[in-house]
Structure 1
Amino acid sequence: MFRTAAALAIAAAALTGCAPEPQLSISDAWVRLAAVDGRPAAGYFTVNGGPAAATLVSVRTDLALRTELHESMAAAGGGMTMDAIDQVPVPARGEVRFAPGGKHAMLFGVNPQVKPGTSLTLTFTFADSTRIQHKARVIAAGDQAPSVD
């Protein structure tokens, strides 16, 4: 009995050591369309760090004329302010969430064919030239944000 339990413990430890290294990836991507025609849409997502630190430098889609990374933050007078950001560090094995009220991608000149309930492909580019494509769910301005884990 003891030998069986010891063998199982050793096998479990060996399998844990063989688990694949987490890879740089994107999850929970969605885009909220603007409430007013001509205004930018906002993209939200999570960047999941891989075995080494990375730096996100851009997010693009073929369905918008221009995309910029931005960050919202509390202003001195109690309101909110938003600034463009050139890059976002992603820690190894960490995560960076782009969420309402914080970091987000602004999508300017979104193609009018993009409608709630569809999806669009975002291309994420990192400083080392790594590119990841990920589909983002599209929701209307007034829709509730999708739940994320």
Structure 2
Amino acid sequence: MQRWWTIATGCLMLTGCLKPATIETENPWLRLPAVTGRPASGYFTLHGGAAPTSLVSVSVDRAIRTEMHRSMTTGGAMTMQPVRDLPLPAHGTIRFAPGGLHLMIFGLDPAMKKGDAALLTFTFADGSRMERKAWAVGAADPAPD
């Protein structure tokens, strides 16, 4: 009996070390615009699954259009550049965070308020899609934990 228990415990411990076979999303959130009618922004972290792929788009159900952008400093000035697609290596990570990669969300529903949720649809190079809720924070609020 004790031998069976030792083997079962060892197997359970090993499964905790395995990386996910599917893509996982962590902490999706939106920052509402400071001025009504201006773009909102979106952030999240993606963890790659067993096979490499590319993130080709993210849409927001409560917006007219969403674009992926990268912030960068050029000649001492902060600029943004649209991003067409982002490689997501097997078991790799893509982080959308303030000051780096982010979503520009155009035409966000003006009725959306702090604490409301929107549905993000992630589309990958193989045509697969994944949906996740993202919670809104105010323009001057800190990023959620």
TM over 0.5: yes
1:61 paired residue number: 60
Contact 1:33 1:140 in 2 (8 A): yes
Alignment partners' CA distance in 1, 2:6 and 2:90? 29
Alignment partners' CA distance in 2, 1:111 and 1:65? 8
1:114 paired residue number: 112
Alignment partners' CA distance in 2, 1:146 and 1:136? 11
1:11 maps onto 2:8 in alignment: yes
Matching residue within 85, 88, 91 for 2:86:
88
What percent of counterpart residues are identical? 47
Alignment partners' CA distance in 1, 2:25 and 2:86? 14
Alignment partners' CA distance in 2, 1:93 and 1:72? 24
1:141 paired residue number: 139
- AA paired with 2:41? A
Range 14-23 or range 83-92, more displaced: 14-23
Contact 2:116 2:136 in 1 (8 A): yes
1:43 paired residue number: 42
Contact 1:90 1:96 in 2 (8 A): yes
Q: TM-score, normalised by structure 2?
A: 0.89
1:33 paired residue number: 32
Say which one has the larger Rg. 1
Alignment partners' CA distance in 2, 1:21 and 1:100? 27
**5+ unaligned residues in a row in structure 2: which ranges?**
none
Aligned pair count? 143
Q: CA RMSD in A?
A: 1.9
Alignment partners' CA distance in 1, 2:82 and 2:19? 32
Contact 1:25 1:132 in 2 (8 A): no
- AA paired with 1:73? M
Contact 1:44 1:98 in 2 (8 A): yes
- AA paired with 1:96? I
Alignment partners' CA distance in 2, 1:9 and 1:90? 37
Q: TM-score, normalised by structure 1?
A: 0.87
